[in-house]
Amino acid sequence: AKIRRYKWEVKYEYKSPDCVKKLVITINGRTPGPTIVAEQNDTIIVELKNRLLTENVAIHWHGIRQIGTPWFDGTEGVTQCPILPGETFTYEFVVDRPGTYLYHAHYGMQREAGLYGSIRVSSKEPEPFAYDYDKSIILNDWYHKSTYEQAAGLSSVPFQWVGEPQSLLLNGKGRFNCSLLTTPSTNVASVCNATNPECSPYTLIVIPGKTYRLRISSLTALSALSFQIESHNMTVVEADGHYVEPFVVQNLFIYSGETYSVLIKADQDPSRNYWATTNVVSRNATTPPGQAIKARKGFIVPPPPTAERMIVFLNTQNTVNGQYRWSVNNVSFNLPHTPYLIALKDNLLHAFDQTPPPNGYDFKNYNIYNVATNTNVTTSSGIYRLQFNSTVDIILQNANTMTVNNSETHPWHLHGHDFWVLGYGEGKFDIYNDPKKFNLVNPIMKNTVPVHKYGWTAFRFQADNPGAWAFHCHIESHFYMGMGVVFAEGIEKLGALPSAIKGCVHR
Ligand code: C2O
Ligand code: CU
């Protein structure tokens, strides 16, 4: 295995990803940042220098389990203190499995400012499919308002929603129609320039007859996307780092935090160009292909047949002192200042609420089709402590938002683990009957899974990775508004924490 070293400088710069000039966060002058290309079992060392001048930073390696290095998960408030302006912090971890992964800021809403990129880990073993070329395509949505304006709106009374994005980006490039910029006093030409090369579309030049593996991932702030290539079918072969039974699609539906590999064959008329496009799928879109995905024969890791614990997470929208919040079992999550990993290891009991949040909700009486009546839920920094090595079932239960007859899809992402997706359903999860229908034969493993409108999603995982791990909705504004929880397990198994993560803790 190799050691791969990167030196990154993170700073604000003016860029025009969709032809509109905006302050964005770059890594070595680029957004998205450089793609990390490695082989299974390589060690990645990223020496990160924070040149944001007045802003902290932390970078999360999305999909990398950080076995033995929970302190390098990059989640501010959970696994590390933030990296202060001017500071350098070195991440060091092993990419132990082949697959398609991501990295992105995990501090405030910085991901949306452009601080993200792809990780591609090649396999040491022969793969169950063949291709000639391997490319990464990262999808994102893009707002013209700064993350600060957005965060301020979200925390205001009355609430100001961030709204739909202005553009969609494919490998950091999009195209906003400059004539739609209407701010009267601005000189439009200086802000929006359709001929700026920074927004010229990403082009993939293909050789006729060759097969391409495209690693498609989404890091949208909000949108659920569909991706397609004109006149070409795509064969899905991998999801979140796991091989799947191949299936063919024309449109790939993808939620924020998910990754897929598709194979395409350049077998159409070579004298013309084909557009690869992405678009927002209505948040009313029905059944995504995710439900049909099965683990690839020969690569199935069977789930344990039973679980020791089941936690049901009711997803609701509520208010707290007039502010709009998202909550889980009527608790809206607050990130503490002292990272949980440090607080747990060093027994700093004052650092977070010691009362664990609830294991479920009142499923007999609660009507998921109504606006929640509890308009003043509690906020808490309490966590779920899991028995080390135990098997845990999580049921995500969706419900109505604060708007009558409205429910939203939430893509939930688990740090530090993969999980088996055991089932999906509509309406209220039936604790007695639905588990009988779980797929225990060939469930796909993932790290991000959607829970659909008024539906439920069930998954199982093994709490076998000592550390403190975030589990949250990957919609940037939803996590900011409290849609997350933290699991902790096996803390006693950990050796001394590196002092580099402890900058904000004073005793
Ligand atoms: Cu990609 Cu905690 O998220
Ligand atoms: Cu959400």
Q: Is 452 in the pocket of ligand 1 (CB under 6 A)?
A: no
**Sheet with 455-462, side-by-side order of all strands:** 378-380, 331-333, 323-328, 309-320, 391-397, 455-462, 419-426, 445-446
Tally helices (H) and strands (E) across the chain. Answer: 4, 30
Strands 22-27 and 59-62: unpaired
Q: Is 62 in the pocket of ligand 1 (CB under 6 A)?
A: yes
Ligand with the closest atom to the CA of 448: 1
Domain with CATH 2.60.40.420 in the chain: 3-124, 151-177+191-292, 309-501
Ligand with the closest atom to the CA of 475: 2
Q: Over range 352-370, report the average pLDDT.
A: 95
Q: Is 472 in the pocket of ligand 1 (CB under 6 A)?
A: yes
> Which ligand 1 atom sits nearest the alpha carbon of residue 448?
1
Q: Is 77 in the pocket of ligand 1 (CB under 6 A)?
A: no
Q: Over range 77-87, report the average pLDDT.
A: 98
DSSP E strands: which ranges in 252-409? 252-254, 259-265, 276-280, 309-320, 323-328, 331-333, 378-380, 384-385, 391-397
* Closest CA relative to residue 118, chosen from 91, 138, 92: 138
> Which ligand 1 atom sits nearest the alpha carbon of residue 257?
1
> Which ligand 1 atom sits nearest the alpha carbon of residue 256?
1
How remote is the CA of residue 474 from the centroid of ligand 1, in Å?
A: 6
For ligand 1, atom 1, which residue shows the shortest CA distance? 62
Q: Over range 118-136, report the average pLDDT.
A: 96
How remote is the CA of residue 162 from the centroid of ligand 2, in Å?
A: 13
Q: Are 171 and 32 in contact (CB under 8 A)?
A: yes
498: CB partners within 8 A, 6+ apart: 71
Ligand with the closest atom to the CA of 63: 1
Q: Are 334 and 379 in contact (CB under 8 A)?
A: yes
CATH topology of domain 309-501: Immunoglobulin-like (2.60.40)
The superfamily (CATH) of domain 3-124 is Cupredoxins -  blue copper proteins (2.60.40.420)
Element of type H or E holding 364: none
Ligand with the closest atom to the CA of 64: 1
**Predicted pLDDT of residue 205:** 84
285 — pLDDT class (breaks 50, 70, 90): low
> Which ligand 1 atom sits nearest the alpha carbon of residue 62?
1
| CB contact burial 236-260 (16+ within 10 A = b; e otherwise) | bbbbbbbbbbeeebebbbbbbbbbb
Q: Is 411 in the pocket of ligand 1 (CB under 6 A)?
A: no
**Predicted pLDDT of residue 291:** 55
H-type helices in 160-200, by residue range?
Answer: 188-191
392: CB partners within 8 A, 6+ apart: 307, 308, 309, 310, 311, 386, 460, 461, 462, 463
Q: What is the pLDDT of residues 23-75, one digit of tens each?
A: 999 999 999 999 999 999 999 999 999 999 999 999 999 999 999 999 999 99
Ligand with the closest atom to the CA of 256: 1
How remote is the CA of residue 474 from the centroid of ligand 2, in Å?
A: 6
How remote is the CA of residue 335 from the centroid of ligand 1, in Å?
A: 14
Q: What is the pLDDT of residues 158-198, one digit of tens each?
A: 999 988 999 999 999 999 998 888 665 567 777 899 999 99
**Predicted pLDDT of residue 277:** 87
One-letter identity of residue 364:
K
| Dihedrals phi, psi of 437, to nearest 5 degrees | -100, 5
Concatenate the DSSP letters of all residues of 237-285 into one string.
EEETTEEEEEEEESSEEE-TT-EEEEEEE--S-TTS---EEEEEPPTT-
Interface confidence: ipTM more than 0.90:
yes
Q: What percent of the chain has pLDDT over 90?
A: 85
Inform me whether the pLDDT recorded for 289 exceeds 70: no
241 — pLDDT class (breaks 50, 70, 90): very high
Domain 151-177+191-292 class? mainly beta
How remote is the CA of residue 219 from the centroid of ligand 2, in Å?
A: 13
The CA distance from 264 to 249, in Å, is 11
**Predicted pLDDT of residue 373:** 83
Q: Is 173 in the pocket of ligand 1 (CB under 6 A)?
A: no
> Which ligand 1 atom sits nearest the alpha carbon of residue 472?
2
Q: Rounded to whole angstroms, what are the CA distances from 457 to 214, 290, 435, 440, 493?
A: 27, 11, 11, 14, 31
Inform me whether the pLDDT recorded for 228 exceeds 90: yes
Q: What is the pLDDT of residues 439-483, one digit of tens each?
A: 999 999 999 999 999 999 999 999 999 999 999 999 999 999 999
The CA distance from 92 to 89, in Å, is 10
Ligand with the closest atom to the CA of 473: 2
**Predicted pLDDT of residue 203:** 84
| Dihedrals phi, psi of 478, to nearest 5 degrees | -70, -40
What's 374's DSSP letter?
Answer: -
180 vs 282, residue with greater confidence: 180
* Closest CA relative to residue 344, chosen from 302, 304, 383: 383
Inform me whether the pLDDT recorded for 391 exceeds 80: yes
Q: Is 257 in the pocket of ligand 1 (CB under 6 A)?
A: yes
How remote is the CA of residue 411 from the centroid of ligand 2, in Å?
A: 6
How remote is the CA of residue 226 from the centroid of ligand 1, in Å?
A: 20
What's 113's DSSP letter?
Answer: G
The CA distance from 335 to 339, in Å, is 8
How remote is the CA of residue 20 from the centroid of ligand 1, in Å?
A: 27
Ligand with the closest atom to the CA of 317: 2
How remote is the CA of residue 116 from the centroid of ligand 1, in Å?
A: 11
276 — pLDDT class (breaks 50, 70, 90): confident
Q: Is 60 in the pocket of ligand 1 (CB under 6 A)?
A: yes
How remote is the CA of residue 483 from the centroid of ligand 2, in Å?
A: 7
| Dihedrals phi, psi of 142, to nearest 5 degrees | -140, 130
How remote is the CA of residue 80 from the centroid of ligand 1, in Å?
A: 14
**Predicted pLDDT of residue 181:** 82
H-type helices in 270-359, by residue range?
Answer: 340-345
Q: Is 470 in the pocket of ligand 1 (CB under 6 A)?
A: yes
**Predicted pLDDT of residue 288:** 52
How remote is the CA of residue 114 from the centroid of ligand 1, in Å?
A: 14
Q: Is 478 in the pocket of ligand 1 (CB under 6 A)?
A: no
